[in-house]
Amino acid sequence: MKIDILTLFPNMFTGVLNESILKKAQEKQAVSINVVNFREFADNRHQTVDDYPYGGGAGMVLKPQPIFDAVAHLTKENDARIILLCPQGERYTQKKAEELAKESHLILICGHYEGYDERIREHLVTDEISIGDYVLTGGELGAMVIVDSVVRLLPGVLGNEASSVHDSFSSGLLEHPQYTRPADFRGLKVPEVLLSGNHRLIDEWRQKESLRRTFLRRPDLLAQSELTDKQKKWLEEFQKNER
């Protein structure tokens, strides 16, 4: 996969892209990540990328020309999924991350100032994404979130391929509780079933606890999940215990 990030603040990405999983993914050549300062594509002497909004109002608006030209330069050889980081965009989810992970080329556009010229939104991008209902100074942090969540899904990136499958939200539910050594830490003991060696019982316990945790912490997710008959019975049990 190839990922291009258009930003006015490329140094913000230095630490994030050169540590942990993202660093290893690039070393394995599972992904190529290129950070581009789109100011370099401005067609004026002072490399101005923003201007006052028509009709007046507070703040400055990003001009279309530098971003259009930067995208054209990056898509000379192939098409790309072009993503605008924007508070008006679609709420980002694990399902969206899985969708984007199937693409061969992503371009992420990080906004700044008051917003984008509307022609960028209407005639250039394929997706608008928001990572949450709050406002950040720019789209850089959102782009980092998307890159991290997508890259870890690429084949060969994680040491254990099952890790991403069992993550919270991958199944539509929150992940089950996890434990490690020691089995007894200051009187706090690991559930016996996890020490039993019975993988069928362990798997059932994990499924049930995943459902319980989702019911208690994110019940809104249950409305979107297709539950098995067994899970429905467990859910009824949890609901009765809450009364």
Q: What is the pLDDT of residues 192-202, one digit of tens each?
A: 999 999 999 99
Distances (CA, A) of 201 to 6, 7, 177, 207: 49, 50, 15, 10
Domain boundaries, the chain: 2-151, 167-242
Q: Angle CA(46)–CA(52)–CA(55) in degrees, nearest 5?
A: 155
pLDDT greater than 60 at residue 19: yes
pLDDT at residue 164 tops 60? no
Residue 177 has what pLDDT?
Answer: 94
Which residue is catalytic, options 50, 117, 152, 212? Answer: 152
Binding residues: 111, 131-136
Residues of the binding site for S-adenosyl-L-methionine: 111, 131-136
H-helix segments, the chain: 14-17, 20-27, 64-74, 94-100, 118-123, 140-151, 162-165, 199-217, 229-242
CATH no. for 2-151:
3.40.1280.10
The reported pLDDT for the residue numbered 78 is 86
Residue 167 is among the residues annotated as catalytic for this protein = yes
Tell me which fold the domain 167-242 belongs to: Trp Operon Repressor; Chain A (1.10.1270)
pLDDT at 112: 84
Q: How far is residue 30's CA from residue 24's CA, in Å, rounded to a whole number? A: 9
Give catalytic status of residue 219 as yes or no: no
CA distance 161 to 178: 17
Among residues 81, 87, 175, 213, which one is catalytic? Answer: 87
Nearest by Cα to 150 from 6, 18, 7, 25 = 25
Catalytic residue among 127, 167, 204, 237: 167
33-49 per-position pLDDT tens digit: 999 999 999 999 999 99
